[in-house]
Amino acid sequence: MKRRTFIVGAGGALTALSGCTAGSIIEDSTITLATYDSFVDGEDPVGPWLKEEFEAEYDVTLEFETPSGGINQYIQRAQQDAEINVDLFVGLNVDELIRIDEQLDVPLFDALDGELERSDRIRDELRIDPEGRAVPYDTGYISLVYDERSVEPETFDDLTDPATEDQLLTQNAQQSDPGLAFLLWTIHEFGESGYLDYWADLQDNGVRVLGSWNDAYNAYLAEERDIVVSYSTDQVFNGDVPRHQIGFLNDQGYAQPEGMARFSDAPEPEAARDLMEFMLRPDIQGGIAERNVQFPAVDDAELDEEFDSLAHVPPEPVTFGYDDLLGNLEGWVEDWARQIRS
């Protein structure tokens, strides 16, 4: 448990002193939030802003941890009885929830969805966890980004058409979130028995599967190709220009909700719960969405108008839930990867 006395400058010292004379020591709890790198690093990241907003209203210090292995770090700690001194994990995907449940017999997180006051404002279609451990706080939509001067992909069939030959760039679903989302999108469309045939057609039409989002987007920026799998918020960075048009295949986009969850043995469970509640507030939801360049999870978020006009929501969001993926995911990805590789 991390506690520390909070004394800032002379004024703070005075407060502490007066606190002492009153017979109590003013103490300030610290909570630790584990998340992914870009939550705290990158351009105008959400982390520092959230820290400032939260600490202004609560007597709690917020700290961050960005383990390189993401959630695996905590799964493995739990498996090996090593301490988890973290209160909250922010940035859970549904595939990670499945991995947690396949690897661990003991609960890693508490189920708080439904218990939080603002739970009922969360959009239902974003709920990825039937057990309510992961509380959605934002979502992204995977779409295509394309150059309208050369191509106009509107349907899945367009991507296997000679007009888009050697144009599509995507990512390795084994390692990349948008890559996995695009693969799942094709499975959603063509079914478990049909998706590999569709990918065979994509391969015949020259699809290139690179490693990470960065790899694919870098090749797209170098104008190697004119279609890349990316996020529907692309224009927030690049503006509404011909090279950065958003393509929703069959009017769909694959939703990728992100959840937050409190660790079962969180050192500061109450403060962690306060932070979760705080992160669902309309103004904070808007701030998170804009800085994360994602969409809010609640239906009453306060969003900046310019952001709203450049971040596109697909007419028909699709996604697989926990129950659809459990027991299937690994096999789907492996069969796909082997087909691409050979």
Site residues, another protein (CB under 8 A): 37-38, 40-43, 45, 47-48, 51, 64-69, 72-73, 75-77, 80, 82, 99, 103, 172, 174-175, 177-178, 208-215, 217-219, 221-224, 231, 233, 237-238, 293, 330, 337-338, 340-342
Do 282 and 298 contact (CB within 8 A), yes or no?
yes
Task: Find the shortest distance in angstroms from Cβ 322 to another protein.
Answer: 16
Query: CB-wise, 122 or 329, nearer to another protein?
Result: 329
Residues 6+ apart with CB under 8 A from 222: none
Task: Find the shortest distance in angstroms from Cβ 153 to another protein.
Answer: 19
Query: CB-wise, 63 or 154, nearer to another protein?
Result: 63
Task: Find the shortest distance in angstroms from Cβ 275 to another protein.
Answer: 15
Q: What does the longest C-alpha to C-alpha distance in the chain come to?
A: 81
Residues 6+ apart with CB under 8 A from 56: none
If one counts every other C-beta atom within 10 angstroms of the C-beta of residue 212, the result is 15
Task: Find the shortest distance in angstroms from Cβ 22 to another protein.
Answer: 30
Task: Find the shortest distance in angstroms from Cβ 21 to another protein.
Answer: 31
The secondary structure element, H or E, covering residue 337 is helix 329-341
Query: CB-wise, 18 or 238, nearer to another protein?
Result: 238
Residue given tokens 């990512």 in the structure block = 171
| Nearest Cα to Cα of residue 65 among 43, 89, 97 | 89
Residue given tokens 């390795």 in the structure block = 172
Residues 6+ apart with CB under 8 A from 59: 28, 29
What six digits make up the tokens of 2? 């991390």
Query: CB-wise, 29 or 233, nearer to another protein?
Result: 233
Query: CB-wise, 300 or 330, nearer to another protein?
Result: 330
Residues 6+ apart with CB under 8 A from 75: 99, 100, 103, 104, 108
Which amino acid type is present at position 191? G
Instruction: State the sign of the Cα–Cα–Cα–Cα dihedral 292, 261, 129, 327.
Output: positive
Bridge partners of 168, per DSSP, are 227
Task: Find the shortest distance in angstroms from Cβ 216 to another protein.
Answer: 9
CA distance 234 to 178: 13
Query: CB-wise, 29 or 172, nearer to another protein?
Result: 172
Task: Find the shortest distance in angstroms from Cβ 209 to another protein.
Answer: 4
Do 269 and 262 contact (CB within 8 A), yes or no?
yes
Query: CB-wise, 119 or 164, nearer to another protein?
Result: 164
Task: Find the shortest distance in angstroms from Cβ 84 to another protein.
Answer: 10
Query: CB-wise, 36 or 156, nearer to another protein?
Result: 36
